[in-house]
């Protein structure tokens, strides 16, 4: 499909005028609503055998530990509903996730008091940084279900992070290691021209000069 109008139609871009008025202020500046769920990542979707899969916890902790997927499932689970905002300008309202709140995981981890930042390491070769204080909100989680179903491979199966109040690149699919850090350190996109804080309501997209992101950039990609 090279026709822009067809592409936009097929991507189910929702115009703000089609959205209830009280929901319109949930759209940050420079964003477009989408009904579909775009799929965005660098590299190939990783393949896992759940028997070998582990989430490891390291860095500024008294003791490195790891969780099997079954152990993750045994932790207290929570359902959240949140809006998500990608820096390529799509926003999706009322997405539903189920998993383990970061604030429920933290007490199990023996994190050293000097830890102030977290790096999420993910496949394939992805990382993103978030301040620890930011992860304590009641809708930041390690998610294993979306819209009542297990995560699909392309959306991060078996486990991804959800950090709703930051641009969606801070929500790592295929997360495999959580590293606690004393000092902040930029992740993949944060080293490549994107903003360290990434608050969509402050339009913190770029660290330096604005990069050209056409409004329909994501509609050229895959979505479901």
Ligand X SMILES: Nc1nc2c(c(=O)[nH]1)N[C@H]1C(S)=C(S)[C@@H](COP(=O)(O)O)O[C@H]1N2
Can you give the binding site for ligand X, defined by CB under 6 A? 37-42, 86, 122-123, 126, 155, 168-169, 171-174
Min CB(85)–Mo ion separation in Å: 9
Q: Which is nearer to ligand X, 67 or 169 (CB)?
A: 169
CA 114, 204, 151: angle at the middle one, nearest 5? 75
Q: How far apart are the C-alpha atoms of 177 and 13, rounded to whole Å?
A: 35
Q: How far apart are the C-alpha atoms of 60 and 197, rounded to whole Å?
A: 21
Stretch that binds Mo ion, among 25-33, 36-44, 99-107, 151-159 (CB under 5 A): 36-44
Q: Which is nearer to ligand X, 44 or 49 (CB)?
A: 44
Stretch that binds Mo ion, among 6-14, 37-45, 142-150, 194-202 (CB under 5 A): 37-45
187: tokens are 């992740």
Residue with tokens 């080293």: 191
Contact with Mo ion (CB under 5 A) among 169, 174, 180, 194: 169
Stretch that binds Mo ion, among 38-46, 72-80, 98-106, 171-179 (CB under 5 A): 38-46
Min CB(190)–Mo ion separation in Å: 13
CA 123, 124, 128: angle at the middle one, nearest 5? 65
Helices then strands (H, E): number in the chain? 5, 14
């Amino acid at each position: 499909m090279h026709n822009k109008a067809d592409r936009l139609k097929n991507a189910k871009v929702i115009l703000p005028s089609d959205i209830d008025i009280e929901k319109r202020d949930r759209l940050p500046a420079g964003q477009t609503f989408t009904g579909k769920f775009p799929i965005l990542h660098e590299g190939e979707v990783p393949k896992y055998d759940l028997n070998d899969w582990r989430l490891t916890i390291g860095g500024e902790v008294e003791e490195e530990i790891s969780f099997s997927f079954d152990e993750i499932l045994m932790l207290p689970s929570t359902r959240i509903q949140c809006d998500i905002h990608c820096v390529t300008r799509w926003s999706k309202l009322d997405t539903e996730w189920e998993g383990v709140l970061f604030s429920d995981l933290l007490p199990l981890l023996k994190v050293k008091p000097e830890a102030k930042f977290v790096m999420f390491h993910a496949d394939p070769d992805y990382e993103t940084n978030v301040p620890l204080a930011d992860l304590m909100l009641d809708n930041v989680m390690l998610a294993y279900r979306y819209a009542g179903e297990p995560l699909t491979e392309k959306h991060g199966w078996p486990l991804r992070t959800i950090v709703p109040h930051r641009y969606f690149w801070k929500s790592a699919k295929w997360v495999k290691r959580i590293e606690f850090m004393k000092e902040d350190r930029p992740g993949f996109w944060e080293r490549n021209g994107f903003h360290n804080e990434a608050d969509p309501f402050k339009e913190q997209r770029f660290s330096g000069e604005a990069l050209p992101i056409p409004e329909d950039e994501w509609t050229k990609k895959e979505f479901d």
